[in-house]
DNA sequence: GTGATTGCAAATCTTTTGCACTAAA
DNA sequence: TTTAGTGCAAAAGATTTGCAATCAC
């Protein structure tokens, strides 16, 4: 909810090595100034259109992946054939409501994963994802 | 590796309420008599063709879902736009090799998830999935 | 200007569906 | 028989790609 100056987003894109184009700035505004969000490409596209931001679905996909590569977003896979993007890139886990298809952060450091096995030879652990699946 | 009699599969399908058709028996044989497997529909279809089992891809999809609903398989989602099916339905977690797209069971009770939060009101926990993502 | 970015439409990939045909009980 | 299961081809979604037009620097 903190109303940061628009230039903050501009800086944020620049530091990520991404040209602050009209589309990227507009999408960044939608993504990062509305609190934590779990959003699909289709949803973000609809959201953009609702705000009179003209942007193609292809660009939304490109932008989401660029933001993810730049570490501004985190991609979450819980549902075959649908990608969610999480604006919260800190270390945390998720509830997944199977019926509605909604995702929700599991607060703070409640859940803990212990005794994570060693990465097999020649590999490194990128991330440990925990999804608590819920009926309803 | 235990060479069980063919009738075992027949029984297994019957108890699951599934007619033991030629296709289902053949697919069950591929799935359950080769040790633990993590397989996609496309892979199982190719596997079947290699064994001279004529079965359509649509039937492979149907069969995988029927087996999953019957509790014979477990569906795992780690990769957007691709479903894996695990012949090991016991409680366990996975390594995911991001480069090769391979899945591997994390042995036994090594990894532990503790302090799983309560399910939100009106919901129940279906399952807790842990995926350890690896480079390589 | 010049190279990065965008939009559009077409292409691709995985999965599902409709329906006539076939097989199990 | 009678009903479930199968194959095929078409449909449906989600995502990606090719390329000319446009924009940021």
Tokens of B50: 């290699």
pLDDT, position B7: 79
* A33/A113 Cα distance (integer angstroms): 31
Task: For CA atoms A82, A88, A89, A92, give the dihedral sign.
Answer: negative
Domain membership flag for residue A94: yes
Average pLDDT over residues B89-113: 91
Q: Has residue B112 got a pLDDT over 90?
A: yes
Average pLDDT over residues B85-89: 96
Q: Which of B110, B131, B134 is opposite residue A120, by nearest beta carbon? A: B134
Provide the percentage of residues in chain A whose pLDDT is more than 90: 83
Q: Nearest CA of chain A to the CA of B107: how many Å?
A: 9
Domain membership flag for residue B120: yes
pLDDT, position A35: 83
Q: Has residue A2 got a pLDDT over 60?
A: no
At A61, which CATH number?
1.10.10.10
CA distances from A58 to A50, A97, A117, B106, B131 (A): 17, 28, 39, 37, 29
Q: Do B123 and A117 touch (CB under 8 A)?
A: no
Q: What is the pLDDT of residues B7-26, one digit of tens each?
A: 789 999 999 999 999 999 99
Domain residues for A84? 7-134
Closest-CA residue of B relative to A100 is B123
Q: Do A130 and B127 touch (CB under 8 A)?
A: no
pLDDT, position A56: 95
Domain membership flag for residue B33: yes
Average pLDDT over residues B33-53: 94
pLDDT, position B136: 80
Tokens of B65: 């879902």
Contacts of A56 (CB under 8 A, 6+ apart): none
Average pLDDT over residues B102-113: 89
Does at least one atom of strand D sit less than 7 Å from the CB of B41?
no
Domain membership flag for residue B78: yes
Q: Do B117 and A129 touch (CB under 8 A)?
A: no
DSSP H helices in A16-115: 22-32, 41-50, 57-69
Tally the domains of chain B.
1
Q: Has residue B131 got a pLDDT over 60?
A: yes
Does at least one atom of strand C sit less than 7 Å from the CB of A82?
no
Domain membership flag for residue B107: yes
Partners of residue A136 in chain B, C-beta under 8 Å: 122-124
pLDDT, position B5: 54
What pTM did the predictor assign? Answer: 0.91
Domain membership flag for residue B2: no
pLDDT, position B9: 92
Gyration radius of chain A's alpha carbons = 16
| Closest to A123 (Cα-Cα) out of B99, B110, B108 | B99
Partners of residue A75 in chain B, C-beta under 8 Å: 80
pLDDT, greater one: A81 or B106: B106
Q: To 10 degrees, what angle do helices A22-32 and A6-15 make?
A: 110
Using the structure, give the distance in angstroms from the CA atom of B67 to the C1' atom of D9, rounded to a whole number. 25
pLDDT, greater one: A30 or B107: A30
Q: Name the interface residues of B facing A (CB cutoff 8 Å).
A: 75, 77-83, 95, 97-98, 104, 106-107, 110-117, 119-120, 122-136
* B74/B86 Cα distance (integer angstroms): 5
Q: Has residue B6 got a pLDDT over 80?
A: no
Q: Where are the beta strands (DSSP E) in B3-92?
A: 38-39, 74-79, 82-86
Domain membership flag for residue B1: no
pLDDT, position A77: 94
Partners of residue B127 in chain A, C-beta under 8 Å: 132-133
Domain membership flag for residue A2: no
Q: Has residue A127 got a pLDDT over 80?
A: yes
Q: What is the pLDDT of residues A87-113, one digit of tens each?
A: 999 999 999 999 888 999 998 788 999
Q: Has residue B98 got a pLDDT over 80?
A: yes
Q: What is the pLDDT of residues A39-79, one digit of tens each?
A: 999 999 999 999 999 999 999 999 999 999 999 999 999 98
Tokens of A85: 């993007």
């Amino acid at each position: 909810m903190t109303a940061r100056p628009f230039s903050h987003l501009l800086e944020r894109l620049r530091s990520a090595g991404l040209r602050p184009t009209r589309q990227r700035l507009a999408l960044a505004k939608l993504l990062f100034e509305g609190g934590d969000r779990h959003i699909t490409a289709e949803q973000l596209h609809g959201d953009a259109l609702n705000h009179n931001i003209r942007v193609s679905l292809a660009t939304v996909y490109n932008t989401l992946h660029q933001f993810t590569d730049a570490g501004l977003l985190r991609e979450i896979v819980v549902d075959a054939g649908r990608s969610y993007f999480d604006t919260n890139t800190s270390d945390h886990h998720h509830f997944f409501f199977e019926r509605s298809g909604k995702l929700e952060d599991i607060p703070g450091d409640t859940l803990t994963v212990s005794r994570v096995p060693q990465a097999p030879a020649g590999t490194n652990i990128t991330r440990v994802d925990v999804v608590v699946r819920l009926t309803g």
